[in-house]
Chain A
Amino acid sequence: MKQGRRKTPSPSTTRKRQPRTQETGYRFDKIAEMGEDGIFVFDERFNILFANQMASDITGIPKSDLIGKNFFFVIGKQDREFLEGTVIRGEGLGKKLCMEMNISTPQGQLKETDICIASAKSVKSGVKIYAYVRDITVRKKYEKDLKNSEERLRNLFERVRHGLFISSKEGKFLDCNQALLDMLNYSSKAECLNIDLQRDLYVNPEDRTIFQERIEKDGYVNDMEVEFKKKDGEKRTVLLTGYPIRDVKGDTVGYQGINLDITERKRIEEELRETNEFFRNLIESSVDGIIATDMKGNIFIFNKGAEDLTGYSASEVIGKLHITELYPKGMAKEIMRNLRSPDHGGIGKLTPLQLSVLNRAGERVPIQLSAALIYDRTGTEVATVGIFTDLRPRLQMEKKLEETHLQLVSSEKMASLGKLAAGIAHEINNPLGGILIYSSLLMEDLPKEDPKKQDLERIVQEAGRCKEIVKSLLEFARQTEPRREPVDINRAITDGLFFLENQALFHNIRITKRLDPSLPRVIGNGGQLKQVFTNIIINAAEAIHGSGELNITTFSSPDRTSVFVEFTDTGEGIPEENLCRIFDPFFTTKDVGKGTGLGLATSYGIAESHGGKIAVRSKVGEGSTFTIELPVSAENETGLDKRTGDPLQ
């Protein structure tokens, strides 16, 4: 319509209308008022002949003031040359000429206008110029705004620090921003727009196909992780987000989107993961138990060491067991108190302290605890961590050391005592022989009824006692004799019993043997071991005082590294105060003259020299059990390495 209207003042129509201006004036007025354009009609001297209401509105001058005024009065002096040239030289005759022009209104407004002029010449009224003035201030502003906003978008596009792109379906960049150039290390946009995306950009070319397929399927691709090649081939990990560009038919012709370079983020994530892994391994591989709890006492770290120490598995504990359940009553609270006190290594720390924790079976396990409070950045307590060192091996070691020390002292003592005993025995033997010989000579000289004969018999008897003592001393002295060979323990017991069973002492004693036929042989001195068994059997028989039972059992440890011989009697038993002394040399409870107090000491020494030991359990009135443990391997004399293989198997 507007277009058509603008064509209205064509030379032919104006020519037709001109002669009838007066008559048709009214109609023309009406028509002129209907449009949105201001209309002026002026003559060659620019005197305004006609102006419509719109022309008055645009110029801000009342219609009545316009008539007769110079057209330049209305539009100012701008482009006077253009107008004068058009009008005066008649260059625009029969043509419509348009230009944009600013009009200042008397009210001070500056209006942007589009002015079109057409001149017409008639014989009667000469040259008349028609000017159509359209107010384009609003349109101009809109155009300017549009231009500005496009610029802004372009600025945004260029300045976004993530790689933006528009690409063709065929696989070229149509546009990309500086960030993308930087990311891919291209020096110019032209260079970047030239690459083949599938071949030069994607590390895995099929990723582009996947990208395209997904866009077709879903209408977008969001944060697809792909790898891009930089110009120099270096890889970047990118989160690709894209949307299709479609033509009017709705077919995809290209893509636009954003590439988020997450290479650095990935690297940091990986480093973080590795660091975390490292710390996790560090905690996990600690021999010590490491347990961490939140401030409510809920356990959230429970490493392998803690599992071994407590018998709980981490899955049983984390989030399920409260830390107080691992301590004896009240201990957890005291630890917290000490942690917060400055007196135990400083606030938030706990210097190593020995205490017990409760294991899964409810038993106390001796441990050494060092603990710390963990604070967050603001200094708030967030967790506690404790390092638990199992003290059992250390305590065991200390005990063993102590025992070894005692044994060392005792075996040194034994050795010198043995030497002394041997010396004494040899020295005393001959005088004893002398006593025996002279007294028997005397006895033969005396008549049968001589009262002195009794005294002499007593001398012989006492000398006999001395002889027994000396014999025991010698046996005691010989207990460290070195000869070793595989010994059948069952046979040694049977042999020992063979000599004893027929003695009067054993007449009312029922002996039961339960000997393990598969018992491994022990490396040792058979004679000495037999002596040990004989000593214990005789002691048992003597403790029984008449009738009773003696059970002899042999068995081996499940791993067949040790052999056990057990003698259980139903004798009088050993009072507790004597239990620790029965292996001492010269300790005896027998009547004077009945025992030397060397039997068990000798036995103990022999067992010890075989790397074994003798244990005793006894209850007064019920009987005693002597258990002899002997290592199968001779190397095991220290008892430290029980895993040494059995040489006889």
Chain B
Amino acid sequence: MAKKILLVDDDPDFVEAVSLILKSKKFDVVTAYNGIEGLNKVTSEKPDLIVLDVMMPEKDGYAVCKELKSNSQLSHIPVLLLTAVASHVPTTRYTQEMGLETEADDYLDKPVEPNVLVKRIESLLSK
């Protein structure tokens, strides 16, 4: 059975592009365009994994992640954060302060390279 992935990003073009990649890898994809919608979709769709953009209007990725992880019924769902930050600069505020605090299961810097994204998703799902 295909795994269901919830993709949350405020950029429709980006959502469309990533959806295409994930669908080509035989994932079920549901989408949301802001944090609040994303949280609603988590409850309604019960995805196996969430790909969550950090910078969004209304509720940003950190806040969404925090709510998810503080909810015992949802905290088991792995979250892959998409940041605009290079992961190899570990002392920056985003990664050091926010990324770690959010308890995201993994994070990936934008722009997203399709292969890397798929690999990370597969690796999170296999845990």
- Are A and B bound to each other? yes
Q: Measuring CB to CB, which residues of chain A are less than 8 angstroms from any residue of chain B?
A: 425-426, 428-438, 440-441, 444, 463, 466-467, 470-471, 474-475, 478, 481, 483, 525-528, 530-531
**Most chain A beta carbons < 10 A, residue from B17, B24, B55, B93:** B17
16 A-B pairs within 8 Å (CB atoms) are namely A425-B84, A430-B14, A430-B111, A433-B17, A433-B112, A437-B112, A437-B114, A440-B113, A440-B115, A441-B24, A444-B24, A463-B111, A474-B84, A475-B86, A478-B92, A530-B91
Contact among A441, A470, A475 with B111 in the assembled complex (CB-CB below 8 Å): A470
Asked if B112 and A436 make an inter-chain contact with CB atoms under 8 angstroms apart, the answer reads yes
Contact among A433, A527, A528, A531 with B14 in the assembled complex (CB-CB below 8 Å): A433
Asked if B93 and A426 make an inter-chain contact with CB atoms under 8 angstroms apart, the answer reads no
Separation of A467 and B114 alpha carbons in the complex (Å): 14
A463 contact set on B, CB distance < 8 A = 111
Separation of A471 and B92 alpha carbons in the complex (Å): 13
Separation of A530 and B91 alpha carbons in the complex (Å): 9
| B105 interface residue (CB < 8 Å to A) | no
- Closest-CB distance, A349 to chain B (whole angstroms): 65
A440 contact set on B, CB distance < 8 A = 21, 113-115
| B5 interface residue (CB < 8 Å to A) | no
Q: Measuring CB to CB, which residues of chain B are less than 8 angstroms from any residue of chain A?
A: 9, 11, 13-14, 17-18, 20-21, 24, 55, 84-86, 89-93, 96, 109-115
- CB-CB under 8 A for A441 and B86, given A433-B111, A470-B111: no
B24 contact set on A, CB distance < 8 A = 441, 444
Asked if B85 and A438 make an inter-chain contact with CB atoms under 8 angstroms apart, the answer reads no
B96 contact set on A, CB distance < 8 A = 527
Asked if A527 and B86 make an inter-chain contact with CB atoms under 8 angstroms apart, the answer reads no
Separation of A474 and B93 alpha carbons in the complex (Å): 12
Identify the 10 closest CB pairs spanning chains A and B, nearest first: A527-B91, A432-B111, A433-B111, A429-B110, A437-B17, A430-B14, A440-B114, A433-B112, A430-B11, A434-B17
**Most chain B beta carbons < 10 A, residue from A428, A429, A474, A531:** A429
Q: Which residue of chain B has its CB nearest to the CB of A529? A: B91
- CB-CB under 8 A for A437 and B18, given A429-B111, A431-B13, A527-B96: yes
Asked if B110 and A474 make an inter-chain contact with CB atoms under 8 angstroms apart, the answer reads no
A433 contact set on B, CB distance < 8 A = 14, 17-18, 110-112
A470 contact set on B, CB distance < 8 A = 111
Q: Which residue of chain A has its CB nearest to the CB of B109? A: A471
- CB-CB under 8 A for A527 and B21, given A429-B84, A471-B86: no
Asked if B110 and A430 make an inter-chain contact with CB atoms under 8 angstroms apart, the answer reads yes
A425 contact set on B, CB distance < 8 A = 84
Separation of A481 and B14 alpha carbons in the complex (Å): 29
Asked if A474 and B85 make an inter-chain contact with CB atoms under 8 angstroms apart, the answer reads yes
- Closest-CB distance, A593 to chain B (whole angstroms): 17
Separation of A110 and B93 alpha carbons in the complex (Å): 139
Separation of A430 and B7 alpha carbons in the complex (Å): 14
Separation of A284 and B111 alpha carbons in the complex (Å): 72
- CB-CB under 8 A for A531 and B89, given A434-B13, A441-B21: yes
B21 contact set on A, CB distance < 8 A = 437, 440-441
- Closest-CB distance, A592 to chain B (whole angstroms): 20
**Most chain B beta carbons < 10 A, residue from A436, A437, A471, A474:** A437
Q: Which residue of chain B has its CB nearest to the CB of A525? A: B91
B90 contact set on A, CB distance < 8 A = 527
Q: Which residue of chain A has its CB nearest to the CB of B83? A: A429
Separation of A429 and B113 alpha carbons in the complex (Å): 11
- Closest-CB distance, B52 to chain A (whole angstroms): 14
A525 contact set on B, CB distance < 8 A = 91
Q: Which residue of chain A has its CB nearest to the CB of B97? A: A483
Q: Which residue of chain B has its CB nearest to the CB of A432? A: B111
Separation of A426 and B110 alpha carbons in the complex (Å): 9
| 8 new A-B contacts at CB < 8 Å, known A431-B13, A437-B18, A438-B17 | A425-B84, A430-B14, A430-B110, A434-B17, A436-B113, A437-B17, A440-B114, A475-B86
B17 contact set on A, CB distance < 8 A = 433-434, 437-438
Separation of A301 and B11 alpha carbons in the complex (Å): 82
A483 contact set on B, CB distance < 8 A = 93
- Closest-CB distance, A645 to chain B (whole angstroms): 28
- Closest-CB distance, B67 to chain A (whole angstroms): 23
Separation of A444 and B24 alpha carbons in the complex (Å): 10
Separation of A276 and B46 alpha carbons in the complex (Å): 99
Separation of A430 and B110 alpha carbons in the complex (Å): 7
B85 contact set on A, CB distance < 8 A = 474
Separation of A431 and B84 alpha carbons in the complex (Å): 12
- Closest-CB distance, A537 to chain B (whole angstroms): 15
Q: Which residue of chain A has its CB nearest to the CB of B114? A: A440
A530 contact set on B, CB distance < 8 A = 91
Separation of A434 and B93 alpha carbons in the complex (Å): 26
A526 contact set on B, CB distance < 8 A = 91
- Closest-CB distance, A189 to chain B (whole angstroms): 106
Separation of A496 and B12 alpha carbons in the complex (Å): 39
Contact among B9, B11, B20, B109 with A437 in the assembled complex (CB-CB below 8 Å): B20
Separation of A430 and B55 alpha carbons in the complex (Å): 11
B18 contact set on A, CB distance < 8 A = 433, 437
Separation of A526 and B91 alpha carbons in the complex (Å): 8
Separation of A441 and B18 alpha carbons in the complex (Å): 10
- CB-CB under 8 A for A436 and B11, given A426-B55, A474-B85: no
- Closest-CB distance, A446 to chain B (whole angstroms): 14
Asked if A441 and B114 make an inter-chain contact with CB atoms under 8 angstroms apart, the answer reads yes
B111 contact set on A, CB distance < 8 A = 428-430, 432-433, 435-436, 463, 466-467, 470
Asked if A441 and B20 make an inter-chain contact with CB atoms under 8 angstroms apart, the answer reads yes
Separation of A408 and B24 alpha carbons in the complex (Å): 53
A531 contact set on B, CB distance < 8 A = 89
B9 contact set on A, CB distance < 8 A = 430
Separation of A470 and B83 alpha carbons in the complex (Å): 13
Q: Which residue of chain B has its CB nearest to the CB of A499? A: B88
- Closest-CB distance, B115 to chain A (whole angstroms): 7
Separation of A483 and B113 alpha carbons in the complex (Å): 31
